Chain A
């Protein structure tokens, strides 16, 4: 029962605005001690898991390329491009990106796009430019950029589970196997499809509503 203190530490630490890294380490120590483990064992377990999970942090190797391209005007080019496409709107742009992200993630290509790879250099400046064209002087660039990042996440989360070899599918298979239930990954990934369609419908509707909001802003200055 006392191990629940670890969850309390996370929630409290976050609400009190301590540095989240510090909160995570404190929670690990509290949880381990509450379970009767000695601090050395907890630290070793944490260190081993940290080392095993380094692949999560590799993605930042794209930053030098993105940085140097931005230095030479990549974001401005992305804005120009969207300005030249007639009929390009914030909603339609992000709707196409949502579909692209869901379909590629469903094929297992989760790393080809993302906040650093595509959103910051390309999609966010395009979204910002499209919104500004729709409602000159009235659009909110913060909102356009946030919506671009949100669309990237929604597309990734509700596409990737359709792919049979993604981490979450393998985790589900493993946990079910431990209880003697053996399932082919395809059975699990097939049941990700209804929610994927619902995610496209719900988020897509919101994107088109964002267009309508921009039209309204453009009409009454």
Chain B
């Protein structure tokens, strides 16, 4: 057995070596992406992203009896289906599954210490994990949302569909739907990443966040701003009437403020995750 390992030491000058941080970040990102894409939870995310697509496909391609066939959906009905199935269930639950487990799984599998015993700031680990989760979620939901939208408007017929997409609002709507999914992933991802660092039971987190988001119409205006739904409302591609269930009964934040607002809230949540990860002790079973 060879036993010669020369002792080497890096010189640390005290200033941040950004090139080194970039390489470390890349190293974590690659591992996290691979770990996420090869995990069973990714199968659940794929199911959640494409099950609504499959449902819509069944609705579109299965001939209905005359009495049951309500004809093509209008834009409000399309958005209602998207809001409930995609934003409310698929994006929400997928982010819960992906981001809650980013730290929680490593604690359960007792592997988090490998990162914490590396010469890498814990903040870099948090951000790399978040972005790896986002890459997996966004890759899935951008494709899923696009197929979902194209399928759901396909009963309009080819001529109408072409007009809608090329000369009408179709392309803009499609972009908006994809944008809503992206922003949903960014916001819910940040919430659940932090929750995974604070709370063990994902069911409790799911219920609390779901209830909080669901209670938006009843919340005072100041608290509405602490929900993801509030920021998404300004991007809804249909006029929001108070009687519609996806309305939040508050003046929506203008789009030019809503998107940066959501990004700011997500960044704040990410900063809280960094703080939590930095303060965390590794006891595996009794993290505090």
A and B bind: no
| A residues lining the B interface (CB < 8 Å) | none
